[in-house]
Chains A and B, each alone.
Chain A
Amino acid sequence: QSALTQPRSVSGSPGQSVTVSCTGTSSDVGGYNYVSWYQQYPGKAPKLMIYDVTKRPSGVPDRFSGSKSGNTASLTISGLQAEDEADYHCCSYAGNYAWVFGGGTKLIVL
């Protein structure tokens, strides 16, 4: 499986909205509603932020939302805060009990 494609970095000012894209194929992102997103601070473990494309685990602010169109999934963060500066990784189920991750996107809060 090839890694999903994410932009290397995105940026936004506090209070703005930013969107991180994650592009795969019909064999992964486009084929299943099983896209998840993880937030990772430097040197720390990833944290689940979105699962099943749009669902938020308990405790994750509703500023974080997910969507999907065709082979591209998106994570949108609204009302950007300084603490949101981190790396964001997408992940998709790829069938046959396999998962594929994106390369990660660094979110910079200006």
Chain B
Amino acid sequence: QVTLKESGPALVKPTQTLTLTCTFSGFSLSTPAMRVSWIRQPPGKALEWLARIDWDDDKFYNTSLKTRLTISKDTSKNQVVLTMTNMDPVDTATYYCARVSGVEFDYWGQGALVTVSS
């Protein structure tokens, strides 16, 4: 059974760095073709793809946010970490991690709401 769960701070201040952790089970990121992405959804707005990390440590970022994002993995802990620097109130959103199967997101975490406010 594949499960993913996001964790991290619910509130961050403007200009701070956000660190989110995705802890998953039911698959291994050391297995070829396994991939995990981060996706966010501002309140009442569209989903937005942020980043992806592959089993071979290849990393891909949304070009609009690339300078602020870093994705990494700890295979031994079954975790993927996303950091986003220089947080702004417009970054307030529910952040999801999802497993990537082929080109689609087949399993999603429950999401973590992050509010950016002073």
Give Cα A107–Cα B95 distance, bound, in whole angstroms: 23
Is the C-beta of B52 less than 8 angstroms from some C-beta in chain A? yes
Chain B interface size, under 10 / 10 to 19 / 20 to 34 / 35 or more? 20 to 34
Is the C-beta of B109 less than 8 angstroms from some C-beta in chain A? yes
User: 1/0 contact trace for A71-102 toward B, CB 8 Å?
Assistant: 00000000000000000010101001111111
Contact present for A93 and B47 (CB under 8 Å): no
Give Cα A51–Cα B49 distance, bound, in whole angstroms: 16
Give Cα A91–Cα B104 distance, bound, in whole angstroms: 8
Q: Which residue of B lies closest to A47 (CB)?
A: B108
User: 1/0 contact trace for A28-55 toward B, CB 8 Å?
Assistant: 0000101010100000111110011000
Task: Kindly list chain A residues whose C-beta atoms are within 8 Å of the C-beta of B96.
Answer: 45-46
Chain A interface size, under 10 / 10 to 19 / 20 to 34 / 35 or more? 20 to 34
Give Cα A102–Cα B45 distance, bound, in whole angstroms: 10
Is the C-beta of A57 less than 8 angstroms from some C-beta in chain B? yes
Give Cα A16–Cα B52 distance, bound, in whole angstroms: 39
Give Cα A99–Cα B38 distance, bound, in whole angstroms: 11
The total of interchain contacts (Cβ-Cβ below 8 angstroms) comes to 62
Is the C-beta of A18 less than 8 angstroms from some C-beta in chain B? no
Contact present for B47 and A48 (CB under 8 Å): no
Give Cα A3–Cα B42 distance, bound, in whole angstroms: 13
Contact present for A101 and B49 (CB under 8 Å): yes
3-20 of chain B: CB within 8 A of chain A = none
Q: Which residue of B lies closest to A43 (CB)?
A: B111
23 A-B pairs whose Cβ atoms sit less than 8 Å apart in the complex: A1-B64, A34-B103, A34-B104, A38-B47, A45-B96, A46-B47, A46-B96, A46-B108, A51-B101, A51-B104, A52-B102, A57-B106, A91-B104, A93-B103, A97-B52, A98-B49, A98-B60, A98-B62, A99-B49, A101-B39, A101-B48, A102-B46, A103-B46
